[in-house]
Structure 1
Amino acid sequence: MHRNSYSLAALAAAAVPGLVPVRTMPIATPVEDLDVAGIVGEDGRRVMALSPASTAAGVRLERDLKVADALSGTSLGGVTPPVLGFVKLTEGGRCAVTEAPVGRPLMLDDLAGGPDLARSLGQVLARIHTVPRYAAEAAGVESFTAEVLHAEHRTRIREVTEAGHLPAAVAQRWQALLEDEELWDFTPQFVHGDLSEESLFVTGQQISAIRDWSSSKVADAATDLAWLISSLDPERFDELYAAYREELPTSTHPRLMERAQALGEFAVAEWLAHGLEIDDADIVADARGMIADLDADLAQLARDEAERTYEEMSSREDGAI
């Protein structure tokens, strides 16, 4: 069942000894069946209450908190709000109370303001990807091989291609990417798995908190970069990526950025498949619009390449005269 912020405040008071709520504030969440509220105590303490509205949301929340607890002993401890307590719900499951994330939710437009915030995000991503694999697996996250992930991409793209939803140029590009074995030969790492504006918090020009670890896994580092490479302007992403590489103790996969770009494009196919599966015309139209934009971009790249080739041929001919 869903709960409003006042009900969540009462649950928070029951879960955290000494907490006396005096004010509440809504907090955005990317999960529809998870109720979340920020709560300020009379002593000024700020906490966050999370109450699942379904069994699936309860499972997701428990997974999130288990991973967050495991991360408290890593370099991400400072940006992972600790759990303060739980209280059982009448319908089953638990409401959890954590320290409130420091700062405010990140907006992508914030990253356009200068290089500092982009670099901070790049550094935090590097810390995520260097969490020891054994620590991640001990927290119960799923672990995937590069071969399994590659096969999943192949299956998804094949399904939308065979269903006739892709323009020829897009289908050819994606097939060529999937056939490039070197591109998909990587070592899996711990990833957040579902980065969004709702999961990242910022103070000034620094990333101050990260939440919702329920989709984390040992998989492809490009997963966490795909959203950003497809959303930021190239200059800002380059600043983020430079800081990411500087923070890593080892070198990155030589084609990590290419794979992130590919995953950003493949996400459109996944969005389309989701819309078709639930028969949502708005999602289908949105996905088809993005595919049409990609098709137009590929057509422009082909024209640009043809013009460069023609100019080079003309220059050689002029030089031979």
Structure 2
Amino acid sequence: MARPTLTLAALATAAVPGLEVTAARAHTRRSGGAYDAVELRASDGRRLLIRVPRTQTAETEQSADLVSLRAMTTGIRSRLSFAVPVFVGQAPVDGTRAIVTEFVPGRVLGADELTAHDRIAESVGSAIAAIHSLPPGFVGDAGLARESDGEARDAVVELIGRTSDTGRLPAALLRRWEEATDDESLWRFRTTVVNGALSADSFIVDEERVAAITGWSALAVGDPARDLHWLLTSRGPSAERALEAYIVGRGGGADAALPQRALLYGELELARWLLHGVEQRDQAIIDDAVAMLDDLVAGVHDRTTEALSPETGPILTVDGVERLLDETPRTEPARESSALLTDSYDFSELELGERGERVPVPADATAPIPLDLSDWGDAAPGADGRAHEESGSTDAPADDADETGRRIGRTGS
């Protein structure tokens, strides 16, 4: 049961000494009800957000996110062109804890919308490059994970092995993925700071620029391709512009095989989905994953698009992977054809970046407290005062399928 808005507003005053709340409303995000969240206005003009996890998974994620936010010092944040949520306070509640952060206004868009126009696409690419250009020392100082290129490959090999052990991985995919991990050239890259859980839902957009990035629970040093597979599978007409902006932002630090690894990570999302179903003993999820894997097998024989590596033949339809994950209900298996959309990417652009040549980018206590809700207008909380959270802006529609994709990325690895 969701906690009432006024209860969370009162809890915030316990978490933040001296806080006087003048207005509160439920904050919605596409997290499948994993959090109760309320946006607050304080008497000093601040806008804050209080979130309380409703599941063990959400609690673990929130705790990891808090460690990362605390690791990102003022100096680190000054290197970024966008905001990162600022921790304000916390308070225990019902065996877990409520976390209060500064609220970042803006909208959350889908992957295709983020790559629909040049300006916003360039902002997205530049934002990712800025993350990958951060000095890695602060990650180790905070005790966060650091993964070498060899360890990144070992992790993929281990994931493939566990998936194969289920007995449900088609032989064609097993062979394809093993050939990719055997290709030494695919795994020679410089590790960087990575968000680790980046998706379209991570970006808060103000007009045509990235205003903030949220969700830092997987902050680490590792393979930069982990943050890019969602971008390379977007279908917006300016997707290439986002990639170009990323390459320029890296200043020659992007390796030429990065797109292929990113697309491999996209394919492996289905492996994680299958493992999640096996671990949860959920036959519906298992059947769903097997159906999608079978769809991808057909794509192995469709030699019409970019290759993972010279040995593996054509790239599978990662766009199809993402679409299947996003559009399939968690308990209802569904099938959808796979059609690769990676032909539009000119991977030679990355080779320019590898040589240091510039890729041209056009400039271009729970007692109710008195609250004045008049500031919110029609957006004030309903009579029941209940709060829940979906993902993005306060007016974003619920989308449990998006959470399915994010959950897959956090499980089975």
TM-score interval w.r.t. the shorter chain? 0.7 to 0.9
Q: Distance in 1 between matches of 2:84 and 2:236?
A: 29
Q: Distance in 2 between matches of 1:107 and 1:233?
A: 10
Structure 1 residues 198-233: Cα deviation after superposition (integer angstroms, max 9, x where no partner): 332111111111112111111111111122223x02
Structure with higher RCO (Cα < 8 A, 6+ apart): 2
Once the two structures are TM-superposed, the CA of residue 192 in structure 1 deviates from its matched residue by 0.8
The corresponding residue for 2:11 is: 11
Q: Distance in 1 between matches of 2:229 and 2:117?
A: 21
- Whether 1:61 and 2:66 are equivalent positions in the alignment is no
Q: Distance in 1 between matches of 2:301 and 2:20?
A: 60
* 2:239 aligned residue (217, 237, 240): 237
Q: 1:246 to 1:185 in 2, by over 3 A?
A: same
Task: Kindly indicate whether the alpha-carbon contact (under 8 Å) linking 1:67 and 1:140 is maintained by their aligned counterparts in 2.
Answer: no
The corresponding residue for 1:257 is: 259
Task: Kindly indicate whether the alpha-carbon contact (under 8 Å) linking 2:113 and 2:236 is maintained by their aligned counterparts in 1.
Answer: no
- More off after superposition, 258-267 vs 167-176: 167-176
TM-score, with structure 1 as normaliser:
0.83
The one-letter amino acid of 1:83's match is F
The corresponding residue for 2:100 is: 97
The corresponding residue for 1:40 is: 41
Q: Distance in 1 between matches of 2:117 and 2:232?
A: 16
Partner of 1:131, secondary structure, is: coil
* 1:212 aligned residue (201, 207, 215): 215
Q: Distance in 1 between matches of 2:182 and 2:167?
A: 20
Once the two structures are TM-superposed, the CA of residue 92 in structure 1 deviates from its matched residue by 4.9
Q: Distance in 1 between matches of 2:284 and 2:56?
A: 27
Once the two structures are TM-superposed, the CA of residue 234 in structure 1 deviates from its matched residue by 7.5
- More off after superposition, 55-64 vs 126-135: 55-64
The one-letter amino acid of 2:229's match is A
The corresponding residue for 1:175 is: 178
Considering only aligned residues, what root-mean-square deviation do their CA atoms show, in Å? 2.7
- Whether 1:196 and 2:187 are equivalent positions in the alignment is no
Task: Kindly indicate whether the alpha-carbon contact (under 8 Å) linking 1:28 and 1:198 is maintained by their aligned counterparts in 2.
Answer: no
Once the two structures are TM-superposed, the CA of residue 184 in structure 1 deviates from its matched residue by 1.4
Once the two structures are TM-superposed, the CA of residue 186 in structure 1 deviates from its matched residue by 2.0
- Whether 1:290 and 2:292 are equivalent positions in the alignment is yes
Q: Distance in 1 between matches of 2:9 and 2:204?
A: 22
Once the two structures are TM-superposed, the CA of residue 129 in structure 1 deviates from its matched residue by 0.8
Structure 1 residues 29-87: Cα deviation after superposition (integer angstroms, max 9, x where no partner): 5486443222234665421112234666445434322322332422237410222223x
Q: 1:234 to 1:209 in 2, by over 3 A?
A: closer
The one-letter amino acid of 1:27's match is T
Q: Distance in 1 between matches of 2:189 and 2:283?
A: 37
Task: Kindly indicate whether the alpha-carbon contact (under 8 Å) linking 2:19 and 2:42 is maintained by their aligned counterparts in 1.
Answer: no
Task: Kindly indicate whether the alpha-carbon contact (under 8 Å) linking 1:101 and 1:210 is maintained by their aligned counterparts in 2.
Answer: no
Q: Percent identity?
A: 31
- In our comparison, the structure showing a higher alpha carbon Rg is 1
Q: How does 1:3-152 map to 2 (within 5 A)?
A: 3-16=3-16, 17-28=18-29, 30=31, 33-41=34-42, 45-53=46-54, 57-71=58-72, 72-74=74-76, 75-76=79-80, 78-86=82-90, 88-152=91-155
Once the two structures are TM-superposed, the CA of residue 235 in structure 1 deviates from its matched residue by 4.8
Partner of 1:84, secondary structure, is: strand
Structure 1 unmatched ranges of 5 or more: 306-321
- More off after superposition, 94-103 vs 281-290: 281-290
Q: 1:302 to 1:254 in 2, by over 3 A?
A: closer
TM-score, with structure 2 as normaliser:
0.66
Q: Distance in 1 between matches of 2:3 and 2:75?
A: 32
Once the two structures are TM-superposed, the CA of residue 90 in structure 1 deviates from its matched residue by 4.4
Task: Kindly indicate whether the alpha-carbon contact (under 8 Å) linking 1:51 and 1:96 is maintained by their aligned counterparts in 2.
Answer: yes
Q: 1:166 to 1:38 in 2, by over 3 A?
A: same
The number of residues matched between the two structures is 302
Task: Kindly indicate whether the alpha-carbon contact (under 8 Å) linking 2:144 and 2:219 is maintained by their aligned counterparts in 1.
Answer: yes
The corresponding residue for 2:158 is: 155
Once the two structures are TM-superposed, the CA of residue 302 in structure 1 deviates from its matched residue by 7.1
Once the two structures are TM-superposed, the CA of residue 256 in structure 1 deviates from its matched residue by 0.6
Q: Which has the higher strand share?
A: 1
